[in-house]
Amino acid sequence: MPRRDEDTDRFTVARADLVGSLSQRVNDERVLAAMRRVPREEFVPANIVSDAYLNIALPIGDGQTISQPLIVAQMTSSLQTRPGDRILEVGTGSGYQAAVLSLLVHEVITVERIPGLTEEARTRLSRLGYHNVRVEQAVEELGWPEDAPYDGMLVTAGAPELPLALLEQLRVHGRMVVPTGPLGMQDLLLVTKTDTGHETKNLGACAFVPLVGRGAWPTPG
């Protein structure tokens, strides 16, 4: 059923309110402006569309979630992207984070492990006109080495420890934001690759679904 104009207006108002509340926590007008343009209601399942502008993570099927808007804002801001950047996202999920990123950089390559989600996100992003996002089906190896090195990397699933395979796909002086730690409760790390290794800053506690694959958590079940 096509959405009515009054629904569009209602969502636009709710989106402005949500991003307004995020601006008290995230001091990054570029990122907030991008989030003001991405219709989160298009990225959540139809039966919970009325929750799209609550500042919470929401289920998207297959036991996965679309991240909390505040976390999206914080992660995106920490990456300090530049317009010419090529960014890798690991964990496409709904495609929402990739859409936000795509408004800030030249190209986003995003990789998803669950084929149904990959297909859905690819169709959705293309329908909504995010043509500088490429959605790839994850293989056993973490990330997407084919197009490495990336200027920045966002990992939106929790790794047991810093995934060195992903660090390898980052260019020197590039930044990577990655939740790291035990299942259900991680630290959000900002990792900067240096000539000789890497530097790490802890951005605070977070909770992500597990990063699954070689060098991360084993496949569930």
Strands 64-66 and 58-61 turn out to be antiparallel
Q: Please count the residues of this chain forming the interface with ligand SAH, following the rule CB under 6 A.
A: 24
Q: Is 206 in the site for ligand SAH (CB under 6 A)?
A: no
User: Of 38, 73, 135, 211, which lies in the binding site for ligand SAH, with binding defined by CB under 6 A?
Assistant: 211
Q: Is 209 in the site for ligand SAH (CB under 6 A)?
A: yes
Share in percent of the chain as helix, strand, coil (round to 5): 35, 30, 40
Q: Is 76 in the site for ligand SAH (CB under 6 A)?
A: no
Residue tagged active-site, from 21, 23, 50, 67: 67
Scanning residues 124 to 183, which ones bind ligand SAH (CB under 6 A)?
138, 142, 156-157
Residue for token pair 């790794």:
159
Q: Is 90 in the site for ligand SAH (CB under 6 A)?
A: yes
| Residue 97, SS3 per DSSP | helix
User: Of 15, 40, 86, 113, which lies in the binding site for ligand SAH, with binding defined by CB under 6 A?
Assistant: 113
Contacts of 137 (CB under 8 A, 6+ apart): 111, 112, 115, 118
In this complex, which beta carbon is closest to ligand SAH, that of residue 173 or of residue 179? Answer: 179
In this complex, which beta carbon is closest to ligand SAH, that of residue 86 or of residue 156? Answer: 156
Based on the residue annotation, tell me whether 67 is a catalytic residue of this protein.
Answer: yes
User: What gap in Å lies between CA 122 and CA 130, rounded to an integer?
Assistant: 10
Is there a contact between 205 and 182 (Cβ–Cβ < 8 Å)?
no
Please give the single-letter amino acid code of residue 95: G
In this complex, which beta carbon is closest to ligand SAH, that of residue 173 or of residue 214? Answer: 214
Contacts of 148 (CB under 8 A, 6+ apart): 88, 168, 169, 170
Q: Is 120 in the site for ligand SAH (CB under 6 A)?
A: no
Question: Can you give the binding site for ligand SAH, defined by CB under 6 A?
Answer: 64-67, 90-91, 93-94, 96-97, 111-114, 117, 138, 142, 156-157, 209, 211-213, 216
| Active-site annotation, residues | 67
